[in-house]
Structure 1
């Protein structure tokens, strides 16, 4: 490679870069550089012209009476320069604020392009970058959650077909042995039979939680009712439900998200809330949305987001829903999921979700 080419490419074989700060020709940084330089040059040119055309003169050395004129002129140029720079660079404050508050699981938080054309282009580029990152995040989360649901179905099927069937065979064999056993041994075998039957019920319950077949067979309302029934009585928890009929139809993905959010919420209530009562409600919003609420009377909302809450937020993001977790009226925790009309079959394209956590 020739020396001339090396120097032209900046000495590293890369693209040509201008000598001014901020990068190559045509970039927003270089345009902003020239804008500021032009403003400063214009201000000093105007100041020099005014000074040259005015009756005021500057002696050498400077006379005491000329100092106020020079001071006022310098102050005016500095103030004009400060005003113009402030007006030009103010959008950067909004951009910095957006950078500090942006969340990978929250979307729709954008800065409206404003100010001069250079910064508008910068803000538009940053918004486009956020759009790409959120789209990639949503696509990756969809793949992960899809694989998770597939694995849950496989495990549930194996629990039902293999372990469930094996325990059923054990129950039948125990019954056959009990019919031929003497009285004392028969009573002992009856205790073993109850343990096996209880284990079989637990296996079936785990399989239902892993793969909500009732959701596919009977619909969302019946699935939530069955879910509330499964958790009611667990650890002394009483679960009530308020499930409205005639709600807007949702696509299968949205129904699965609602079910999983309710399931994870009730699981957190049992594990962490120390609550005696919880309510699951599914109602319609005034704008055609569907609202899921899980409210308990426990110790209050969590201080941070664990794996369960993080998973709920990711699921909400996939269908453009809004998930909020906060304090309930009268104490306890309220989980609220608002599913927009876009989650209906054939609805408009979804936007990414926004999620709030105190």
Structure 2
């Protein structure tokens, strides 16, 4: 198909030039104009004017034939600079429309392929997290449980050591829960976020404010998982590093986008900070076409996730 279109374009240019040359030949053959063996100035002027007319007519006709391609190239350059967010304009008819439709179809296939690749990457990350969580539960968790039972049979009992082993077991179980959020699978995003704040701040002095709007749209699994993971990372950072008195989490819909905000009044993120946690949140957001912003404010940090709503 592409070869035929290229040949057709070449044929148009050749035909245009051929018609002009034929017209020029006919004018020379049937006009009273002659050229002396020693051309006069007037004859040279006539030849120059005729040649210039042919060149100008050729340029205008070829330009008209190829102008749709020039516009298409300009549109493609714009699309490339906009990271594929837009499609090229489609002329009403002609070769330009055929090429524009083909380019738009190619762009749609590229975006679809990127989407499938990103979802596969997200699924792979979650599968690896689930595997590690299962190994922690079956390996380290069971070993600590067996050690705790063995310590309980000692006489006299070593209460201090038992408490340390129990604390380690609780920590392993907590890490396993973070790696594989069963509450998200079982109860949904709203309950998962509530359980997350309870786990992190339920036994501390940090006050939690929740602002999850009612009537939020049902999300596809990938988007829901990304929102939860970003909230988990942001809240964990607050619990570990912020030394905040208050942390707030809100989830609302703005048009066809869902916006998650986690804000605290702690010590604030350092200037230019871009650690593993922040990079991980940005990468997860990008997997579902979202955007993440981390901003330092007076007395704290604000993390904002903006993702398009994709219904299941």
State the TM-score, normalized to the length of structure 1. 0.63
Give distance in 2, aligned partners of 1:169 and 1:258.
37
Q: Which position in structure 2 is the counterpart of 1:17?
A: none
Answer yes or no: is the 8 Å Cα contact 1:88–1:115 preserved in 2. no
1:38-65 CA-partner distances (Å, limit 9, x unpaired)? 2223344445556667776554443323
Change over 3 Å in CA distance of 1:249–1:116 after alignment to 2: closer
Q: Which position in structure 1 is the counterpart of 2:178?
A: 209
Q: Which position in structure 2 is the counterpart of 1:134?
A: 111
Q: After TM superposition, list the pairs within 5 Å mapping 1:30-109 onto structure 2.
A: 30-47=7-24, 58-83=35-60, 84-85=62-63, 87-94=67-74, 96-97=76-77, 100-101=80-81, 109=86
Unaligned runs of 5+ in 2: none
Corresponding position: 1:118 with 2:85: no
* Deviation at residue 142 of structure 1 after TM alignment: 3.5
Q: Which position in structure 2 is the counterpart of 1:12?
A: none
Change over 3 Å in CA distance of 1:253–1:92 after alignment to 2: closer
Q: Which position in structure 1 is the counterpart of 2:6?
A: 29
Give distance in 2, aligned partners of 1:326 and 1:164.
37
Q: After TM superposition, list the pairs within 5 Å mapping 1:290-329 onto structure 2.
A: 290-294=258-262, 298=269, 299-300=271-272, 309-314=282-287, 316=288, 322-326=289-293, 328=295
Give distance in 1, aligned partners of 2:71 and 2:91.
7
* Deviation at residue 34 of structure 1 after TM alignment: 1.0
Q: 180, 187, 190: which is aligned to 2:156?
A: 180
State the TM-score, normalized to the length of structure 2. 0.71
Change over 3 Å in CA distance of 1:147–1:329 after alignment to 2: closer
Q: Which position in structure 2 is the counterpart of 1:152?
A: 129
Answer yes or no: is the 8 Å Cα contact 2:259–2:305 preserved in 1. yes
Q: Which position in structure 2 is the counterpart of 1:352?
A: none
Answer yes or no: is the 8 Å Cα contact 2:234–2:303 preserved in 1. no
Corresponding position: 1:168 with 2:145: yes
* Deviation at residue 205 of structure 1 after TM alignment: 2.0
Q: Aligned-residue CA RMSD in angstroms? A: 4.3
Give distance in 1, aligned partners of 2:67 and 2:171.
67
Give distance in 2, aligned partners of 1:241 and 1:252.
22
Give distance in 2, aligned partners of 1:66 and 1:37.
29
Q: SS at the partner of 2:252? A: strand
Matched positions, count:
297
Give distance in 1, aligned partners of 2:191 and 2:296.
27
Unaligned runs of 5+ in 1: 1-21, 317-321, 346-358
